Amino acid sequence: MERLDKIKIQTINSKILSGNFGKGKYFGYGNKKLISLVEIRTNNEIIGFGESLVGIYSSDLYEKNLKYLSDFFLNQSPRQALKICQKLQTNKFFFDSGLLKSILASIEIGVLNLISSYYNENLATTINRIYFSSKKKESNTVKIYSSAGSIKSSLSNLREDIKKSKRLGIDLIKIRLDINKNYEKKIKTLKANKMKFSVDLICNTYEKNKNYYNLRKFLTYIHRFNPKWIEEVLNVNDLHKFNEVKKIKPLSFSYGENFNSIFDYYNLAYYYKFKYINVDVSHITITDLIGLINLIEKKKLKTKIIFHCWGGIINLHTSLEIASLMKKNIEMVEFPIADFSLNNKFINSVNAKKSIIDLNSINRKNINQFYLKETKKKKLNKYSKYEFKFS
């Protein structure tokens, strides 16, 4: 086998795939959903795939900016590419947060998957060796929760989501609610089916949930049902009101999926004292994720991470692998059960019990081959038809 340091990155290309999604019931989507991947190939045809959260919302911007970023990595070895990724992030004007940071995260995942393929090992083992000198204890189990329940879905849709969650061995579900409508029946249905639950108000995209009177009424009502957490309770422009919101009722809150700067997350933990922060590994680099965890531990903060995962299988697989290494800091992983033709086969293959997934039930070493087959058999999609709609 050729030494890893002798291998060079030859091409970096975007791969845009669309799949049938959610039967048109999810806010911001029609009946299709896009995922934006990076495919990294070396001179000896080793392949690694990565994924970026921003590509779900605009694959056009993903493609254009990936083309710009790729020039930094071509003709470099995989190890050199990881060092370049770290070096670029020292430029705080361009790579500390935002679009380029998210795309950089996809390149980093792609390179790590490439290295994982080279050694024919789990991604967790690769990350453990590169970032932790193999000192972390690797686990084969990870705590997950099912994520479904569109704001636009019916009571019948919720019952289907509960049934699917139970079939997958998951007893904790996150639903999305419109607090301006009758939500009581949905909450009572969850309790009647003995489901633990959390609620996502998606206030950064669903403007109608910004109504403060209805928010107070909802939080007062939901408190008696003991939700695990309330997510995205405020629009980012209203985040300064969070300390007042906490006084309404003693509830656990989470926030942060739209952020990707280490200091944004630190402020959520240190200043606002969120119990959970929602980090997406396809939006923030692993380098910064580790830095954030180190900062939280140094300051002895109680905040834990719940991985946000609303993309494709690369996003989910990477989240599960990292969570298996960092159980002390990562509470659980979002497991999207919403009907999505690109994900369904993988989602339905997992083996879980009481919301604990057995990673041995998935092919952990072959994730690149999964998408290699997908990109070969599916016609790549142009972005414009399926762009996410915020209103």
Mean pLDDT of all residues in 190-194: 95
pLDDT-derived band at 370 (thresholds 50, 70, 90) equals confident
What pLDDT score does 380 carry?
Answer: 53
pLDDT over threshold 60, residue 114: yes
pLDDT over threshold 90, residue 24: no
Strands (E), 287-378: 304-307, 330-336, 351-353, 356-358
What pLDDT score does 221 carry?
Answer: 97
What pLDDT score does 367 carry?
Answer: 73
* CATH architecture assignment, domain 141-363: Alpha-Beta Barrel (3.20)
What pLDDT score does 192 carry?
Answer: 96
Write down the H helix ranges in 95-154: 99-119, 123-132
Q: How many angstroms separate the CA atoms of 139 and 22, rounded?
A: 32
Q: Is residue 205 within 8 Å of residue 390, measured between CB atoms?
A: yes
Closest C-alpha to 40, from 80, 12, 8:
12
pLDDT over threshold 60, residue 326: yes
Mean pLDDT of all residues in 300-315: 96
pLDDT over threshold 70, residue 44: yes
What pLDDT score does 47 carry?
Answer: 93
Q: How many angstroms separate the CA atoms of 210 and 235, rounded?
A: 7
What pLDDT score does 2 carry?
Answer: 66
Annotated domain spans of the chain? 4-133+378-386, 141-363
A 10 A CB-CB count for 83 gives 11
What pLDDT score does 390 carry?
Answer: 54
Write down the H helix ranges in the chain: 54-57, 59-70, 78-88, 99-119, 123-132, 155-167, 184-192, 212-222, 242-246, 262-270, 286-298, 313-325, 344-347, 367-377
Q: State pLDDT tens for residues 275-288.
A: 999 999 999 999 99
* pTM of the full structure: 0.94
pLDDT-derived band at 384 (thresholds 50, 70, 90) equals very low
Q: How many angstroms separate the CA atoms of 270 and 18, rounded?
A: 39
Residue 182, C-beta contacts closer than 8 angstroms, at least 6 positions apart: none
Where do we find the tokens 């405020």?
234
Q: State pLDDT tens for residues 235-247.
A: 999 999 999 999 9
CATH class of 4-133+378-386: alpha beta
Q: How many angstroms separate the CA atoms of 65 and 96, rounded?
A: 15
pLDDT, mean over the chain: 92
Q: How many angstroms separate the CA atoms of 183 and 209, rounded?
A: 13
